[in-house]
Structure 1
Amino acid sequence: MFEVYITKSGKYLPNEAVSNDEMEDFLGLINNSASKTQRIILRNNGIASRYYALDKAGNPTHTNAELANNAIETLFDENFTRKEVELLSCGTSTPDHLLPSHAAMVHGLMKNHSVELNSSTGVCNAGMNALKFGFLSIKSGNTKNAICTGSERVSSWMLADKFESEVVNLKTLEEQPIIAFKKDFLRWMLSDGAAAFLLENEPKGKNPLRIEWMEAYSYAFELETCMYAGGDKLENGEIKPWSDYKSSEWLTQSVFSIKQDVKLLDENILEKGAESMKAAMDKNNIKPEDITYFLPHVSSHYFVKGLYNALTEKGIEIPMEKWFMNLKTVGNVGSASIYLMLEELMNSGKLKKGDKILLSVPESGRFSYAYAYLTVC
């Protein structure tokens, strides 16, 4: 088995940072009315700026594949060129197409040569799953290197015009023309961007990170769906897929919008997160004092104190000075968030040889969690 190192990281955040006051300038007004929940949600999530692959007219400026490819471009130099890539592993929640795969579309933009492809789907863990595929490929000796990405272009899913048919339908039914909180909530939570890692079987570059282990856990066997798109939730908790709806209902019920069961999220996300993190640390004999930097992907600063308390109750008290996050300035970029956090830390000048980094990524889709433990070499 070979050692695996993250030898380089890069990112691409489209256009200029968007402040809280500018969000509806880009996403638009639903029913020509400002959202009544926006300020409450933004106050709780603590995000001050984010990035959209849109202009103010709501026109897309980049595809998801372009965001990922632009991040990948930052990895190439005279020491490693696109012609040397052996594996491309891409994760996203918001691919540009149902088919072909996201990785295939990214590879189409690279214009290099034939490589092995892997596309990882899901929600926030899509990026970690893409990373693990690259990690295991190099670990086993299948490849000597891999490029792994996390990317999202969710902004175009949240444009006001995507909900206009639903609003018209609500008016026809003589109901309040306000979309459900489970949909409006996420319009103020999610944003666009991409980041990429170069994985190699040798510790090249400045402060390469050796991946010691990666672990993943799913609780779908006991918990119903929490975050979803391309369907809707029935009273019994099952998800009715988009293909079982009439085509007219795709618009009148915003079937393709991203939705989240906030009550289910609040009840389970922290408890299962602490449970799975303890399992990962116990399995690999890691204690809180063995962590120099803790990088938790949280969708909102609302969860930070709760996560700290939940971990402490499990005997995992990690002092807040060890926590490293960039949610406030970058936003919640789903599967790319953990990549963007680690990229910022790697290029911050803070790391020194021997530092230990724990990555933690929850996914509320149906409650799954992924972890990685890294050593600065």
Structure 2
Amino acid sequence: MKRIRSVVRGVGSYLPRRKLTNQDLEKLVETSHDWIVQRTGIEERHIAEEDETTSVLGIKAAEAALADAGLRADDIDLVICATSTPDYTFPSTATMIQTGIGMTHGAAFDLQAVCTGFVYAVATADKFLQSGSHKRALVVGAETFSRILDWNDRTTCVLFGDGAGAIVLEAQEGEGTSCDRGVLTSHLRSDGRYRDKLYVDGGPGSTKTTGVLKMEGREVFKFAVGMVADVVQDAFKATGTSAEDLKWFVPHQANKRIITASADKLGIAPEKVVITVNKHGNTSAASIPLALDTARKDGRIKDGDLVMIEAIGGGFTWGSALIRW
């Protein structure tokens, strides 16, 4: 039975100008390059300057995605921005991206699911396009996590970076099989009982402050490896596919040890795993689109490839989406 699929038309990304290496961090906190690499796989990350707000990063990534798609702002009728670090409490960062790319029609809104935000945003955009209410969606993941870090806390400040990535999704008719191009299935989960494992200790409705990131690293590692399996396996079941059918596995880039452990648990061969955490750090909702753009630009992801994206984030939230490129 024919059905509407959300097909990837273009992908783009943007990283702030400033790089912060592990050697730079050695001068700020008691840590070392070897310690960071051994435990996280991170070698460097990008840090936004004062004039590089989340929307600025998002606009540049969106423009790159539109250029890659061969489309203009007038061709888009929906903008969803996944972010936990908006420019303002309101208006939404998505509306600022909308304005920044010269779009004055359609709808734009933010979505907050922390590191799982991009997966949630892809799933949400897919529902809009499948319904027939919209034709093309710009899905952006953009973060300036450097603004909510305690730079005296060596257990967290070494992990995160800033950046943005975006994809353009277009509604196209498919045959209704797993051979279709586009988003084939998505699966989302959350469990608020784990709030204290990874959170920011502030907000306008509680402390009236921004707050800083707090994390129980060992607990997050344990849950990250254990929880993602169900949503990935659900995706395989829903489409009649398996780990062997995957061309690329593009997980949230939080920690190299989490990525490799998750892939191993799922039976995904190491050579199918896209890893960019070494150069980007953990960029939260921006990490998956940044990795997608990297793998597309260097020739790894090609048209027709079966790509799995997955993530887990504060809340906890977690999810997957299976996409045929």
TM-score exceeds 0.5: yes
- Residue correspondence of structure 1 range 35-50 to structure 2 within 5 A: 35-36=30-31, 40-50=35-45
| Matched residue, 2:99 | 108
Please list every run of 5 or more consecutive structure 2 residues that lacks an aligned counterpart in the other structure. 174-179
| Matched residue, 2:55 | 65
- Residue correspondence of structure 1 range 72-151 to structure 2 within 5 A: 72-77=62-67, 79-151=70-142
Paired with 2:70 and 2:256, the residues of 1 have a C-alpha distance of 39
Deviates more, 1:104-113 or 1:79-88: 104-113
Secondary structure, counterpart of 1:118 in structure 2: strand
Verify the 8 A CA contact 1:9 1:197 in the aligned structure 2.
yes
How far has the Cα of 1:79 moved from its partner? Answer: 4.0
Q: Give the counterpart of 1:347 among 274, 281, 297.
A: 297
Paired with 1:186 and 1:197, the residues of 2 have a C-alpha distance of 29
Secondary structure, counterpart of 2:16 in structure 1: coil
TM-score (norm 1): 0.76
**As a proportion of its length, which structure holds more strand?**
2
Paired with 1:343 and 1:153, the residues of 2 have a C-alpha distance of 19
Matched, 1:373 2:306: no
| Matched residue, 1:288 | 243
Distance 1:258 1:38, change over 3 A: farther
Paired with 2:90 and 2:303, the residues of 1 have a C-alpha distance of 43
How far has the Cα of 1:16 moved from its partner? Answer: 4.2
How far has the Cα of 1:36 moved from its partner? Answer: 4.5
- Residue correspondence of structure 1 range 253-264 to structure 2 within 5 A: 256-264=211-219
Secondary structure, counterpart of 1:83 in structure 2: helix
Paired with 2:52 and 2:215, the residues of 1 have a C-alpha distance of 26
Paired with 2:302 and 2:218, the residues of 1 have a C-alpha distance of 41
Q: Give the counterpart of 1:217 among 189, 192, 196.
A: 189
Distance 1:320 1:100, change over 3 A: same
Paired with 2:259 and 2:238, the residues of 1 have a C-alpha distance of 25
| Matched residue, 1:165 | none
Q: Give the counterpart of 1:227 among 160, 181, 198.
A: 198
Aligned length: 316
Paired with 1:74 and 1:267, the residues of 2 have a C-alpha distance of 36
Q: Which amino acid aligns with 1:113?
A: T
Secondary structure, counterpart of 1:124 in structure 2: helix
Structure of higher CA gyration radius = 1
How far has the Cα of 1:336 moved from its partner? Answer: 0.6
How far has the Cα of 1:43 moved from its partner? Answer: 3.2
Verify the 8 A CA contact 1:90 1:119 in the aligned structure 2.
yes
Q: Which amino acid aligns with 2:228?
A: G
How far has the Cα of 1:277 moved from its partner? Answer: 2.3
Q: Which amino acid aligns with 1:227?
A: L
Distance 1:355 1:258, change over 3 A: same
Please list every run of 5 or more consecutive structure 1 residues that lacks an aligned counterpart in the other structure. 55-59, 161-178, 232-240
- Residue correspondence of structure 1 range 176-187 to structure 2 within 5 A: 183-187=153-157
| Matched residue, 2:286 | 336
| 1:59-79 superposed Cα distances (whole Å, 9 cap, x missing partner) | x13110110011111234594
Paired with 2:181 and 2:60, the residues of 1 have a C-alpha distance of 22
Distance 1:140 1:328, change over 3 A: same
Paired with 2:73 and 2:306, the residues of 1 have a C-alpha distance of 30
TM-score (norm 2): 0.87
Q: Give the counterpart of 2:275 among 313, 325, 337.
A: 325
| Matched residue, 2:255 | 300
- Percent identity between matched residues is 22
